[in-house]
Structure 1
Amino acid sequence: MQRIIVWLASVIIVTLIFGSIYVTFQQFGRRAVNAAPAAAAAVRVQQPGSGPTAVPPLELTADSGVFVMVFGTDNKPTSSTVALHGELPVIPAGVLETARSLGSDTVTWQPEPGLRMAVVARQAPGGVVVAGQSLTPFEDSDRMSQLFLGAGWLGSMVVLAAAYGSMALIRRRQDIVHSAVLKEGPHEQDPA
């Protein structure tokens, strides 16, 4: 029974270690995705005016780089470097209101299925600046981390199971040898 408890404790500890490593990588990676949009939003906030952009907006896709949108006090977009199906995208009003009341907001925005963006909204004079980028590269990297950590965890479980099986086999052999010695009885010693 003691061996089973030790083995289960080992399994739980190894699982917690691999789980903690994954959560740490995932959180660091997800927060890092916000760095470029945060920098773009900070630059746009410092620029005077919020007039329309001179270049036509690019289509928002899973491969989109960093984009910037400016929303007025009515929560309608006044300018944008991206479009969604030819229209200026609309961010949920709650994100814009949070940015106005707290100074900024950081969220994952899904304008349509299969299109997820890391978005940073910052309060600006006369509105809110929203910058973002696609989460697709991060999510692809996250899947690779899951695969590697899952393989490491599975390998650890195989090693623990083999160690447990080996210990049980050794213990069984020791018990057989011990019981055989007891059955033989005491050995007579030759008189010297």
Structure 2
Amino acid sequence: MQRVIGWLAAAIIVTFVFGSAYFTLQQLGRRAANDAPTAAAAAQVAVMGFPAPSAPRLELTPDSGVFVIVYGADNQPMSGTATLHGTLPVLPAGVLEAARRSGSDAVSWQPEPGLRIAVVARPAGDQVVVAGQSLKPTEDRNWMVLIFLSAAWLGSMIVLALGYGATEIIRGRSLRYPRLPMGLV
């Protein structure tokens, strides 16, 4: 029974290690999704007060890249480089207010089913600059990490099961065929 407990403890430890690795890699990937929007928001805040360059607007899709939208004091979009169904999207007012209170806010925003966006909001006077990008590439990488780690975990469980089986076979043989002392052979 103690041998079984030892092997089960090893399986639990291996499971914990792979689970922790997935959680860590998933969180690193999600936090990295904020990097480009943070840089875009900082760049926009730096040029506030200058005439905004005319940039083509992209439609927000699961494959869209980095975009910037400036919201006024009334939390309504004033200008931006992205649209949702042809109009500037309206971010929840709580995100804009949190950015004004704390100096920035970073959230995952889902304006509609199937469209998740990493958003960073930074205040600029009474306005708020919001930059974002689709989370689909990050979520696709997370899925691949999950598949790889699951395969490695399954392989580890097979190795543990084979190790347990081998020790039980060896133990069973040693009970059936005890070793003779050296001088009696």
Alpha-carbon distance in structure 1 between the residues aligned to 2:159 and 2:64: 43
Structure 1 match to 2:108:
108
Show the counterpart of 1:138: 138
Structure 1 portions without partners, runs of 5+: 182-188
3-state secondary structure, aligned to 2:177? helix
Post-superposition offset of 1:52: 6.7
Distance 1:17 1:150 in 2: 12
For the aligned residues, what is the CA RMSD?
1.8
* Cα separation, 1, equivalents of 2:53 and 2:84: 16
Q: Which amino acid aligns with 2:135?
A: L
TM-score normalised over the length of structure 2: 0.92
Task: Specify the alignment match of 1:82 in structure 2.
Answer: 82
Question: 1:125 is matched by which residue type in structure 2?
Answer: G
Classify 1:150/1:50 alpha carbon distance in 2 versus 1 (closer, same or farther; 3 Å). Answer: farther
Contact 1:121 1:130 in 2 (8 A): yes
Instruction: Verify the 8 A CA contact 2:99 2:105 in the aligned structure 1.
Output: yes
Residue 126 of structure 1, CA deviation: 1.9
Using the alignment, how far apart are the partners of 2:89 and 2:135 within structure 1? Answer: 17
Secondary structure at the residue paired with 1:111?
strand
Q: TM-score, normalised by structure 1?
A: 0.89
Separation in structure 1 between the aligned mates of residue 100 and residue 82 of structure 2, nearest angstrom: 22
Please tell me whether the aligned partners of residues 50 and 70 of structure 1 are also in contact (alpha carbons under 8 angstroms).
no
Q: Where in structure 1 do 4 or more consecutive aligned residues deviate above 4 Å?
A: 50-53
Asked if the contact 1:52–1:80 (Cα under 8 Å) also holds between the matched residues in 2, the reply is: no
C-alpha contact (below 8 Å) 1:38/1:131 kept by paired residues = yes
Q: Secondary structure at the match of 2:169?
A: helix
Determine the C-alpha separation between the residues in 2 that align with 1:115 and 1:51. Answer: 31
Q: Which residue of structure 2 aligns with residue 185 of structure 1?
A: none
Tell me the residue number matched to 2:153.
153
The 2-side partners of 1:74 and 1:6 are apart by 63
Residues 50/118 of structure 1: CA separation in 2 closer, same or farther (3 Å cut): farther
Whole-angstrom distance in 2 between the partners of 1:8 and 1:96: 50
The AA in structure 1 aligned to 2:144 is M
Q: Which residue of 2 aligns with 1:62?
A: 62
Distance in 2, matches of 1:136 and 1:77, equals 24
Which of these two proteins has the greater Rg computed from alpha carbons? 1
For structure 2, the residue ranges without an aligned partner over 5 or more in a row are none
User: 1:1-192 to 2 correspondence within 5 Å?
Assistant: 1-49=1-49, 54-178=54-178
Q: After TM superposition, give the deviation of residue 48 of structure 1 in Å.
A: 2.5
1:184 match: none
Instruction: Name the stretch that deviates more: 62-71 or 45-54.
Output: 45-54
Which SS does the other structure have where 2:48 is aligned?
coil
